[in-house]
Structure 1
Amino acid sequence: MVAPPARALAPRPGTTLSVASLGTFVALVAFCAPLGNMPTVAAALSAGPAAQTWILSSMSVGLAAVLLTAGALADDYGRRRVFHWGAWLLALGAVVGAVSQEPVLFIVGRLIQGVAGAALIAASLGAVAHAFAAPAARATASGIWGASVGAGIAVGPVLAGLLDLAGWWRGLYWALAVASLAIGQVATRALAESRSAVPKRIDVPGAFTLCAAMVLILVALVEGRQGNTPATALCGIGAAVFTLAFVGVERRRPFPMLDLALFRRRDFLAATLAALATGAGIIGLMSFACTFLVKTMHVSTLAAAGVIALWSGTSVVASLLARKLPARLAGSPQLVIGLAGVGVAMLTMTGLSPESSLLRLIPGLLLAGIASGLLNAGLGRQAVASVPADQGGLGSGANNTARYLGSSIGVTIVSIIALDPAGTIDGMVTGWNHAAVTMGLISLVGAGVVAVLVRGDAIRR
């Protein structure tokens, strides 16, 4: 494996946006793929309930644990370089998944894909922010980048479902490996390198304590979903210790990986909380939707993935059109609108009965797609607009860390509320109704908090 050659390329914003969006798309396809064929994968690997939980959660662990570190490294040591190695690492994780014959190795492959996805996502958005400095151009580029997020979420489960019908679920992972290698090669040849004007030394203590804290938080959430109280408590205590250690380290470092003073900026705090609420709300509920549809409405995994694609596919269109919002609604106000929209959408998806049809969910899914598209575009823009100009990778890493941490929290909450131990249809429908109300309220509360921060920021200015 050879590192990218150190050669200067003229900046080409269009090329940067295309490659960055494609890398993000492939990372999200990998992230969402198991939602489309989990029963098949579980049967092929002889994975029990605990292993299935880890298959669904392991990529989130890898993503959230290193997103902030990956963003800082991209800013300081080269966004093209980090993107390139992320693509190669994603290929490696996909190959591990493709050849796995038992769940532990498959989970290891998912963890590798999570780390790789963190590098791709953080470096890609940082590179886009560097390439599009003008506010109007950046808004358009952020919308396209946000559309790639929605497209990956839409395509991953559907592609997995199609290959599942063909009896070749491993083919998706081989395809991901080939696509990742191709993207890495294109990035090496086509992307101009960019980095912070004043590179800093690697904050090893900060990176270590943050990664340890994130891993332990996520392991606690996963083990909590399985009812493993001792492991949950132990990991929770460890996460608190490492979080405090991270704060202490960053306050004393001359060049911290994450300047804690950023949290005094209302726009940064608003973007971070909006990402957390996005993960905990709509992503948490939609992660359970395929399972709910298959078990209660007796549809195939492909049909369930197609229904969920109404949400994610609509979000692609909405992200692309988000640039047409009036200037006064763009940026942080856009996050408020998006969170409020997904909150209302989830409330419309309650009140189901065992006799309800798929048609009952369509209006809510379409509304959630429109609002999610506004969120994806707004989060991509604010992630880099709320940090200093040369720290776009860090902003992306912080924002996406909050999003995937939120999704793990959301999935845990939904699992506790929605899963019926007896496995009855009535119980699962009731659980869905309660979960949709809970996730809707989380999103609406998030919208309210972000609105207060946005208003306060406007008054201060």
Structure 2
Amino acid sequence: MSTVAPASEDLAHGRRMGVLAICCLSLFIVGIDATGVNLALPSIRRDLGADGSQLQWVIDAYTLVLASLLMLAGSTGDRLGRRRVFQCGLVLFGVGSLLCSAAQTPGVLIAARTAQAAGGSMLNPVAMSIITNTFREPKERAQAIGIWGATVGLSMALGPVLGGVLVDSIGWRAIFWLNIPVVVAAIVLSSLFVPESRADRVRRLDPLAQALVVALLASLTFGIIEGRTFGWGSATVLGCFAGAGVALVVLVAHELRRTEPLLDPRFFASIPFSGAVASAILGFCAMGGFLFLNTLYLQDVRQLSPLQAGLMTLPMAGATALMSPISGRVVGVVGPRLPMLVAGGGIALSGTMLLRIEDGTSFAYLGLAYLAFGIGFGMLNAPITNAAVSGMPRAQAGVAAAIASTSRQVGMSLGVATLPTVTYAHLHGPASTGLAAASHTAWSLVAGCGVGVAVLALVTTSRAAIRTRDRVAAELGAA
């Protein structure tokens, strides 16, 4: 008996770790595609004849759809079966990847990216539900979620490096080919090792709220990206911003009346939760703009190859990979304030350093700026997730985590929409001679995002903020 029981437990633990590995594998390719395509943008522009706004849409079509559908995908997995929805997401992500690799025009590539993202949206929240259902013991579950969070951050950081290697050695289409064998392997392995599960009680669908979320994000992003083309005072752009405002007002009013809302407005009465959402938006806005602008700077201004440009981001990727698990441990010991302060400080320092870049700035200086950003970004994910779900009733923790994940994608979309648009507005002449100076305003915004994260770290961890969290948790638990 004494030998059989441990052996049985070891086998069960091994199966649980296998499930975690499968979930992390699928999320890794989603993160790679969210950031790795940045290194391919100059090549895509040359091959497909894309202009600046179309390049922005190549990135934002992906992140916008992810942000819009994450909540729906999570509830669909609870309803229809998490493994089934997870596998459907893998298939759709694979098909979208094939269509991306075959695109011959910018429009087709952008459309294929939306299909790819629709599949990707089924992987993130459903994988979290699978992990939560598989790891029942609290300490083991916390460790599994920590590994999952580190995988997300690591994949986004390594995306530019891997993208640079593939673009330089094979071509930009190879970034999408890479997904196919991973998708096939994940489908087969999930059939063998991931148990099917559903929620004990399924939340009701909220199609109007889902439509309003899509309308809000799409109209806001379209107005920002296309404002330079149509004119900031044009009826089209002003109509987009007005439509986004109307969608937000109607969404809040609608959700307050529902017993099972898609986005429960009561969550936002908790200062730590609202701060987690705002920190995610600010931090990932900085990340989206950082990757987009540095890609153009390194390849168009400094004339680096995609591989060389990807290798230049290694300080950022390495620091992110190193700091992500450290951040999780620090959060578990002392709480989220210290990691968030370091995160905000690192991002602010990097933005401030990049304010000084010129056409001939030394690569050593750039490496230090990238290292600072990686340290800050690596420390960000764990406290965001912790602040979002901490104190929430267990039945609501998944929804809170999904909102935090959505906020990350919203931030990435806004960063790609806003910071390059600000840069293009100051660009006079070819990018090869004017991009560095034109980007200075954008880098000041990145620094501002870092300062915002640091301020939120102090506000959201105060005693008054904790009281609002406990009050909201009690109200939600009673409901």
Give your verdict on TM over 0.5.
Answer: yes
Residues 388 and 130 (structure 1 numbering): CA distance in 2 closer, same or farther, change over 3 Å? farther
Partner of 1:433: 440
Secondary structure of 1:256's counterpart equals coil
For each residue in 1:65-84, what CA deviation from the matched residue of structure 2 results, as whole angstroms up to 9, or x when unmatched? 21222233334444333322
Partner of 2:364: 359
TM-score (norm 2): 0.86
Unmatched runs of 5 consecutive residues or more in structure 1: 1-9
For each residue in 1:33-87, what CA deviation from the matched residue of structure 2 results, as whole angstroms up to 9, or x when unmatched? 3211222222322323343232232112211221222233334444333322211
Aligned positions of 1:222-241 closer than 5 A: 222-224=225-227, 226-229=229-232, 230=234, 231-241=236-246
Secondary structure of 1:254's counterpart equals coil
- Partners of 1:317 and 1:184 lie apart in 2 by 30
Residues 279 and 248 (structure 1 numbering): CA distance in 2 closer, same or farther, change over 3 Å? same
Partner of 1:421: 428
- Partners of 1:195 and 1:392 lie apart in 2 by 16
Partner of 2:313: 308
- Partners of 2:286 and 2:350 lie apart in 1 by 11
Partner of 2:120: 117
For each residue in 1:325-361, what CA deviation from the matched residue of structure 2 results, as whole angstroms up to 9, or x when unmatched? 2645334553343223322232233322333111112
Higher relative contact order (CA 8 A, sep 6+): 1
Q: Does the 8 A contact of 1:127 with 1:393 survive in 2?
A: no
Q: Does the 8 A contact of 2:164 with 2:311 survive in 1?
A: no
Aligned positions of 1:190-339 closer than 5 A: 190-224=193-227, 226-229=229-232, 230=234, 231-325=236-330, 327-331=332-336, 333-339=338-344
Residues 88 and 332 (structure 1 numbering): CA distance in 2 closer, same or farther, change over 3 Å? farther
- Partners of 2:430 and 2:197 lie apart in 1 by 52
Residues 325 and 76 (structure 1 numbering): CA distance in 2 closer, same or farther, change over 3 Å? same
Deviation at 1:22, TM superposition (A): 1.3
Residues 366 and 120 (structure 1 numbering): CA distance in 2 closer, same or farther, change over 3 Å? same
- Partners of 2:336 and 2:70 lie apart in 1 by 22
Match of 2:164 among 161, 166, 184: 161
Residues 394 and 324 (structure 1 numbering): CA distance in 2 closer, same or farther, change over 3 Å? closer
Residues 393 and 327 (structure 1 numbering): CA distance in 2 closer, same or farther, change over 3 Å? closer
Q: One-letter code of the match for 2:312?
A: V
Between the aligned residues of both structures, percent identity stands at 24
Larger radius of gyration between Structure 1 and Structure 2: 2
Residues 433 and 205 (structure 1 numbering): CA distance in 2 closer, same or farther, change over 3 Å? closer
Q: One-letter code of the match for 2:306?
A: T
Secondary structure of 2:379's counterpart equals helix
Unmatched runs of 5 consecutive residues or more in structure 2: 1-11, 471-479
Q: Which moved more, 1:302-311 or 1:134-143?
A: 134-143
TM-score (norm 1): 0.89
Secondary structure of 2:297's counterpart equals helix
Q: Which moved more, 1:93-102 or 1:158-167?
A: 158-167
For each residue in 1:341-396, what CA deviation from the matched residue of structure 2 results, as whole angstroms up to 9, or x when unmatched? 32223223332233311111222222221221221233344444464323444233
Deviation at 1:145, TM superposition (A): 1.8
For each residue in 1:274-303, what CA deviation from the matched residue of structure 2 results, as whole angstroms up to 9, or x when unmatched? 111112223322321111112222211221
Deviation at 1:409, TM superposition (A): 2.1
Structure 1 residue 374 and structure 2 residue 371: aligned?
no
Q: Does the 8 A contact of 1:222 with 1:412 survive in 2?
A: yes
Q: One-letter code of the match for 2:276?
A: A
Q: One-letter code of the match for 1:64?
A: A
Match of 1:398 among 403, 420, 423: 403
Partner of 1:6: none
Deviation at 1:227, TM superposition (A): 4.7
The Cα RMSD (Å) is 2.6
Deviation at 1:108, TM superposition (A): 0.9
Partner of 1:54: 57
Residues 124 and 435 (structure 1 numbering): CA distance in 2 closer, same or farther, change over 3 Å? same
Structure 1 residue 35 and structure 2 residue 65: aligned?
no
